[in-house]
Structures are given as C-alpha cells and as structure tokens.
Amino acid sequence: MTPLPNSRTEPDGSAVIRVLTYNIRSMRDDTDALARVVSACAPDLVLIQEAPLFFRWRKKLARLAAATDLVILTGGGTAAGPAILCNLRATVERAEDVLLPLTPGRHRRGFATAVVRIAGARLGVLSCHLSLEGKERHEQGGMLLDRLTGMGVEHAVAGGDINERPDGRTFGRLAAALQDCRTAAPWGAEHTFPATGPDRRIDAIFATKGVEALGCGVPLGLPGVTETDLGAATDHLPVLAALRVPAT
C-alpha cells in the first residue's frame, strides 16, 4: 500500500490532517479491536456514527477516547449518534450538536459539528448518519450542505454513514457540492459495508473545494490495522483521509 501522508504543519501554515469516519455500532462489538483500529490510523479528527446513546453513554464514549489518546469534542447522545473526537493538535473554536426533524416511526438523526484550528488552518467539521429512507435522506443531505454553509468557514470536512452508494441521489448531491475524497484521491480499499465481505461503499468523507485530498479509503493494509480487528470492531469499515487544509 502507498503510504498515507502523516499529519504535519507545512511551512506556509497549512495543515496536513488525518480524518477518520467510522460507524461503531454503539460499541456493542469488540471495543479493544475498535480502539486498536482507531489508534493505528493516527487520526487528528474522528467522525463517529452510532456512538452509544443510552445507559452511561458518555462514559462509554470517554473510554474509547481514552483508549485511543483522543478527547471527545462533541456529540454522542446529544446529536442522536454522531460524535467527533480529536487529538490535542486541534484547538476547538466552537461546537454544536444539531437534531434533525423527526419523522414519526423512524430513528432520530442529527449532526455533530465543530469549528477547529489546526496549525494555521481553520476547519469546519461535521459528522452525520443519514436516513435509510430515500426521500428523508435526500432532505438531510440538503440540510448537511446548508449547515456547512452556515458555519461561516472557508474550508470544511463532512463524513459519515451516508446509507447510500455513490450512484445514489443523495450521495450525488453531496459529491456535486463538495469533493468526494475517495474519488479525488483513491487510496486503500473502496467498499465499507459489511465489515466482513464488504461489497458496497456507503461511508464517505467529503471536503470543500479548497481542501486538497491526498489519499482516502479503507485502511486495509495500514500497519497495525488487521482484517481480524476490522471484522471484530463493528459492522462497518472505517474510511481514512489525509487532507491538506490551507492556512486561513
């Protein structure tokens, strides 16, 4: 596998960062394997979906953060599942959890959002888990784009479980407005679900046009990431991206 660029600060103040998006299925699987996968990816930001929601959910998410040398930035139960973890390289400017309109009989959905500074770069960050139902999912895609616009930042990254393949209407809507980082800079493996025998790409990282994607994909073959751990950690595979964010 071609090495993925490491996190670093460039001489011009821009930042190379690693962003990981990962559906962790409420940490109902092998949490030690989950922590090993996250740690091996060495992310600056982790966009989580299906964080624990119920009994002692904060403590469960805090245990994952501690086991991976990260801190909880925002989200979890307060965002209906999406969450953001970060390392100490990130300075948090602000954070907000957003609950989306609830359709009766369906799961509540939300966004975990934040604005961070890393080196000389200022970046909006959003973690999402979109609906299983097509019309609702498409509406949520529009809300995601509106939310990024309303964050008042030049550069942003959004990632999560889109619950749709790249040829779908909502995925296409996001890819038309943002960069699909996997398409822009393929790296690693493509398919993200199911974790054992993956045959579709439904998890993705998107970035605004000014962000340079240096590599993006499932970190199969990355040192420290084993197929055994990936299969035991949760039912999705993670997506890891290296991005160069201009100084602002």
> What pLDDT shows up at residue 99?
97
Strand, helix or coil for residue 68: coil
Among the listed residues 243, 225, 153, the one whose alpha carbon sits nearest the alpha carbon of residue 189: 225
Class of domain 9-245: alpha beta
Return the pLDDT at 19: 99
How many angstroms separate the Cα of 47 from the Cα of each of 1, 2, 44? Answer: 24, 23, 10
Is the pLDDT score of 38 beyond 90?
Answer: yes
**SS3 for 101?**
coil
CA–CA separation, 70 and 136 (whole Å): 33
pLDDT, residue 241, reads 98
In the predicted model, is pLDDT for residue 206 greater than 90? Answer: yes
User: Residue 175's pLDDT is what?
Assistant: 98
pLDDT digit string, tens, across residues 164-183: 999 999 999 999 999 999 99
Each residue's pLDDT tens digit, 138-168: 999 999 999 999 999 999 999 999 999 999 9
pLDDT value of position 54: 86
Residue 97's alpha-carbon distances to 54, 116, 169, 220, 240, in angstroms, are 17, 15, 26, 31, 23
pLDDT bracket for residue 83 (50, 70, 90): very high
| Range in 1-10, 12-21, 70-79 with the lowest mean pLDDT | 1-10
Band of residue 1 on the pLDDT scale cut at 50, 70, 90: confident
pTM over the 0.85 mark: yes
- Token pair listed for 127: 């973690």
Report yes or no: 68 and 78 within 8 Å, Cβ to Cβ: no
* Residue 225 pLDDT: 98
The Cα diameter of the chain in Å comes to 52
Is the pLDDT reported for residue 104 higher than 80?
Answer: yes
Please say whether the beta carbons of 113 and 98 come within 8 A.
yes
User: At which residue do the structure tokens 């500074």 appear?
Assistant: 117
- Total count of residues recorded for the chain: 248
Q: What is the mean pLDDT of residues 190-200?
A: 98
